[in-house]
């Protein structure tokens, strides 16, 4: 049985993603996402001397590491593969294996909670971390080897599905976008899986796969009165943030997903603007791409 979307809810979620807006967690508060999952914390995170300080339970959500707290000697121990990282509450240095390194801010115990500097630990554990000052959202990214391997599939549809399921980092300033639509468009340079344009309603964002995560590089709004020239397959732009990407292929592959019925039109757009719709295919879920035989 096909599962169809509730368009109004999906439109809200997609528009929030396109604009880079974090789902509100309170004015001035800091939200933390680990591999796209919002983390509920038992104490409020805060910034000290430019460093985000988080409760210890945030570290436990990062894949591939183990975290232990020794209350008798006030020591945090993090193990990742064969690497051991130790911090002592109140000390402004830490150990990575046998090496001592200076911390930007010491870990501490605050209101009965162990608080630690997130960036130092995440990067020491080989995770990527990004901070969006506009939404006060921290992205922590550590994809599994299996996730990355799937993006390399020789089956282009599978590679695209896997790429869109990578953790996504949005660090651009949000822009105001209008109402959604019952259709969502995906545009790929022909033969590519690692460069994606997505539109719904009058919003568009461009994502690139970089080192195991998707990174928002450009977001824009078009309203029929735009004066900024956009990519050849999009209307003129009224407002944009980020760097408008160059197109790496001679034509664009498109999927127009019709959300209420879980199906999609698909085809190509040439550089001269000519649109060729090749057919219609089931597309019941987000990122349920399929092979287009005519695609090179």
**Residues 151, 128 share a domain:** no
- Other CB atoms closer than 10 Å to residue 286's CB: what's the count? 17
pLDDT at 6 over 50: no
pLDDT at 70 over 90: yes
Band (pLDDT 50/70/90 cuts) for residue 200 is confident
**Residues 120, 184 share a domain:** no
Q: pLDDT digits over 79-125, tens only?
A: 988 899 999 999 999 999 999 999 999 999 999 999 999 999 999 88
Among 78, 99, 134, identify where a domain stops: 134
Instruction: Share the mean pLDDT of the chain.
Output: 89
Structure tokens at 158: 């599978």
Band (pLDDT 50/70/90 cuts) for residue 178 is low
Among 79, 107, 134, identify where a domain stops: 134
Among 81, 105, 134, identify where a domain stops: 134
**CATH code, 45:** 3.30.457.10
Return the pLDDT at 23.
43
Residue 294 lies in a domain: no
Mean pLDDT of 135-160: 96
What is the pTM (predicted TM-score) of this model? 0.86
Mean pLDDT of 226-232: 89
Residue 287 lies in a domain: no
Residues 6 or more apart from 229 whose CB is under 8 A from it?
236, 237
Residue 117 and residue 52 in contact, taking contact as beta carbons nearer than 8 Å: yes
**Residues 186, 61 share a domain:** no
Mean pLDDT of 156-173: 97
Residue 163 lies in a domain: yes
In the chain, the number of structural domains is: 2
Q: Residue 69: give the domain boundaries.
A: 25-134
**Residues 113, 231 share a domain:** no
Q: pLDDT digits over 206-222, tens only?
A: 999 999 999 999 999 98
**Residues 150, 109 share a domain:** no
pLDDT at 252 over 50: yes
**Residues 157, 198 share a domain:** yes
**Residues 105, 154 share a domain:** no
Residues 6 or more apart from 92 whose CB is under 8 A from it?
102, 103, 105, 106
Residue 13 lies in a domain: no
Residue 278 lies in a domain: yes
Residue 128 and residue 116 in contact, taking contact as beta carbons nearer than 8 Å: no
Residue 15 lies in a domain: no
């Amino acid at each position: 049985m096909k599962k169809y979307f509730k368009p109004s809810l999906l439109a809200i979620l997609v528009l929030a993603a396109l604009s880079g807006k974090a789902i509100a967690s309170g004015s001035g508060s800091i939200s933390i996402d680990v591999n796209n999952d919002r983390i509920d914390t038992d104490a409020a995170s805060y910034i000290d001397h430019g460093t985000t300080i988080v409760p210890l339970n945030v570290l436990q959500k990062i894949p591939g590491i183990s975290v232990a707290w020794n209350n008798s000697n006030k020591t945090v121990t993090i193990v990742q593969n064969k690497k051991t990282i130790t911090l002592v509450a109140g000390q402004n240095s830490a150990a990575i294996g046998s090496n001592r390194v200076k911390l930007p801010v010491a870990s501490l115990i605050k209101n009965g909670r162990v608080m630690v500097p997130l960036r130092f630990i995440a990067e020491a554990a080989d995770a990527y971390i990004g901070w969006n000052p506009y939404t006060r959202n921290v992205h922590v990214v550590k994809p599994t080897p299996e996730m990355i391997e799937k993006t390399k599939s020789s089956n282009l549809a599978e590679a695209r599905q896997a790429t869109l399921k990578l953790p996504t980092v949005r660090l651009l300033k949000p822009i105001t976008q209008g109402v959604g639509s019952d259709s969502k468009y995906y545009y790929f340079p022909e033969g590519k899986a690692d460069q994606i344009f997505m539109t719904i309603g009058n919003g568009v964002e461009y994502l690139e796969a970089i080192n195991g995560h998707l990174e928002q590089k450009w977001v824009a709004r078009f309203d029929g009165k735009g004066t900024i020239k956009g990519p050849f397959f999009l209307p003129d732009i009224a407002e944009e943030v980020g760097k408008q990407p160059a197109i790496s292929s001679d034509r664009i592959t498109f999927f127009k997903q019709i959300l209420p019925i879980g199906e999609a039109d698909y085809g190509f757009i040439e550089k001269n603007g000519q649109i060729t719709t090749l057919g219609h295919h089931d597309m019941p879920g987000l990122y349920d791409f399929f092979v287009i035989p005519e695609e090179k």
